[in-house]
Structure 1
Amino acid sequence: MNKSTNNSTLSAKPLVSISIITYNHKDFIVDAIESVLMQEVNFEYEIIIGDDFSNDGTQDILKDYEQRYPDKIQLILHPRDYDCIPGRINNITNLYACRGKYIAMLDGDDSWLSTDKLQKQVNFLEENEDFAVSFHDMMLYYQNGTIVKHSSKIAHYDQGKTVFTYKDVLSGWFIQTSSLLFRNHRIGEFPDWFWEIYSADYAIQLLAARHGKLKYFPDLFAKRNYHPQSFTATQNTTQTHLQRRKKELIFFEKYFPGYKAYQDYGQGKNRLKDALRNLKEKQLSHFPGNLTGSLVHLGKFVFNKDFSILEKVEIIDVDFIKKWKKKS
């Protein structure tokens, strides 16, 4: 299936495994790897890099790094394209190869910015057994030169929360993959449906969040690069993508009870946030669509038959009543 270098000089007992997946990232992969190597930590770690048959010179860069850091880097070089969702085998193979107590994820076109990011996240999980995941804010770099905080775009962060739960994750995607650190071995074998969905990283978050709380660090510990060759950019507009998204929703609704109601509530909040920003920034052409979208999702949430009125109030409590209690 794949070619592993089977590096026998790797640390025998790494506390953390960093999983990097890459495909044609020659312009970004050096920054990604160097941002891991610059981490100042007091524990052993390994770097598992899976390459999905790059043809732009990325593999040459990876082989050079493995020769220079044989005690830290293991390569898994996939010899061909697979007849499945792009990157899926690469992602799963990498995660199964991780031996650490914790797994940190990093996309090959992203990079970490802080030298103590990994140590801070690990310290927290080591000291708090009831938490399964830690993550942080990131800077988003767009092709047109725009740079924004990820947290500024997502309603989940509006109230200054630093502790999230499985229910928060159900309400919508808000965690950047390259900020994620989670406890290994709790997820177990990936279910069969995992091979058929589009949003693998979000599914990993859902699976991990069922085993404990999530700690958020508001620090800007990493950057994400948006570019035309990224997986998101190349896949989001295809007909196959839309079909997979429909199938994905069916799986999520089946295996994660309450998913639909939480999704409608979360998307309704985010669209309302966008509508209010449109008003503030006088982007009136976008305002009607965002306001209408917000009302549609919130309406679906209110009239959802799977939840009682009290259960719906409890979902809203997470955002509003808890904030009110903090101030009082």
Structure 2
Amino acid sequence: MISVVVTTYNQENTIARTLDSILSQKCHLPIEIVIGEDCSTDNTRAICQTYADKYPVIIRLLANEQNKGIVDNYFDSLLQCRGRYIADCAGDDFWIDTEKLEKEVRVMEAHPNVTMVITNWQFYNELTRTTYPSHQRLHAPITAGNKLLKDIITQRNMSVFHLCTSLYKAEVFRKAYEEDAGLFRQTNYVSEDMQIAFVMAQHGDIAYLQDITLNYSCGGVSNATDDIKLFDFVYKTTQQIRYMANKAHLDIQTFLAERIFVLGMHAFRSHQAPLFHQTLNYEREWLTDRDWKIKLLFTVMQHEWLWRLGLMIRHSFVATKRLFR
């Protein structure tokens, strides 16, 4: 059996599309759909209940009494899955290949060492209903997972996976969760996908299919323009990455130095001195070295008049770029 996890919150305009794309799958293995409905304030729950009533053998609706948030809702739903394999499709995304699961299962059955299969995908613009390609690429149909660990957690070179394209082994997740639940969720975690790909790569090979199977609808805090929110998001994801890197004994000091610069730029653009001081604390905590960019940025922010001048120059530069677009 394949368990398909669908987590959703306030997605009344897209959740039916997501469920229809899963129900249209043609696969020789039976599937179940586990919906984690996170106490929506719109009509999402009613739509999910309609589908659960219509497909009682296939769909199980987990209707949360209180909002749990993305991470807890996902892993609580995951722990309810009964399948040998697990797939994922978020409540605003949808599969566009009716044989997605069948293709991935064939790979799993032919290659016992493969713990996760991922595919290519594309962005989907909800307003224009147009698509444009992603930058996900793996160079081989099957890659040893330990060669991908650093790329998975840092994504410095490219995004090497999208969880909503994946099929992975449930037993690998369950065993890893029993050994270290803190790897998957802590109070300050904001991501649920990196941990899954990380443990799958730790325990086997990763397979890649070039077929485009997913339309990914963009959105969320990582696409926001609020530098204060982005500062918090970058810090929390970096803490997750540090946890995984320490677990796998990976050297990510260069990456951490880059993150210090990113945090510094969010502090600079928001003109928030407390965020600057937090960045200095993280620099000491993460034991990173300063390159010339970080030295220059921190020098500017140490002097209020320089900071204000820097913001004026930046605003003028941005305005000029817009004029010549």
Q: TM-score, normalised by structure 1?
A: 0.68
Moved more, 65-74 or 33-42: 33-42
SS of the residue aligned with 2:94?
strand
Structure 1 position 72 matched with structure 2 position 58: yes
Q: Which has the larger radius of gyration?
A: 2
Taking the TM superposition and a 5 Å limit, the aligned residue runs for 1:33-44 are 33-44=19-30
Alignment-mate amino acid for residue 211 of structure 2: D
Distance 1:32 1:78 in 2: 19
Alignment-mate amino acid for residue 215 of structure 2: K
Distance 2:30 2:122 in 1: 27
SS of the residue aligned with 2:89?
strand
Structure 1 position 222 matched with structure 2 position 183: no
1:63-114 alpha-carbon deviations (Å, 9 max, x no partner):
00000000000011111124xxx31111011110111110001111111111
1:182/1:108 Cα in 2 relative to 1: closer, same or farther (>3 Å)? same
Once the two structures are TM-superposed, the CA of residue 147 in structure 1 deviates from its matched residue by 2.5
Alignment-mate amino acid for residue 168 of structure 1: L
1:261/1:243 Cα in 2 relative to 1: closer, same or farther (>3 Å)? closer
Alignment-mate amino acid for residue 140 of structure 2: K
- Residue in 1 that maps onto 2:264: none
Tell me if structure 2 keeps the 8 A contact 1:167–1:262.
Answer: no
Alignment-mate amino acid for residue 88 of structure 1: V
Moved more, 95-104 or 234-243: 234-243
Once the two structures are TM-superposed, the CA of residue 28 in structure 1 deviates from its matched residue by 1.0
SS of the residue aligned with 1:107?
coil
Once the two structures are TM-superposed, the CA of residue 262 in structure 1 deviates from its matched residue by 9.2
Distance 2:80 2:225 in 1: 26
1:162-196 alpha-carbon deviations (Å, 9 max, x no partner):
22233224222421121011011112225224223
Q: Which has the higher helix share?
A: 2
Distance 1:191 1:222 in 2: 29
Once the two structures are TM-superposed, the CA of residue 236 in structure 1 deviates from its matched residue by 8.3
- Residue in 2 that maps onto 1:307: none
Distance 2:5 2:71 in 1: 13
Q: RMSD of aligned C-alpha atoms?
A: 2.9
Structure 1 position 95 matched with structure 2 position 78: yes
- Residue in 1 that maps onto 2:244: 252
1:30-55 alpha-carbon deviations (Å, 9 max, x no partner):
11100111011112111001011111
After superposing on structure 2, the runs of 4+ consecutive aligned residues of structure 1 that deviate more than 3 Å are 142-146, 230-237, 261-264
- Residue in 1 that maps onto 2:150: 170
Distance 2:2 2:14 in 1: 23
Percent identical among aligned pairs is 22
Distance 2:121 2:192 in 1: 20
Structure 1 position 57 matched with structure 2 position 43: yes
Distance 1:136 1:263 in 2: 26
Give structure 1 stretches of 5+ with no counterpart: 1-14, 268-298, 301-328
- Residue in 2 that maps onto 1:185: 171
Distance 1:59 1:259 in 2: 44
Q: TM-score, normalised by structure 2?
A: 0.69
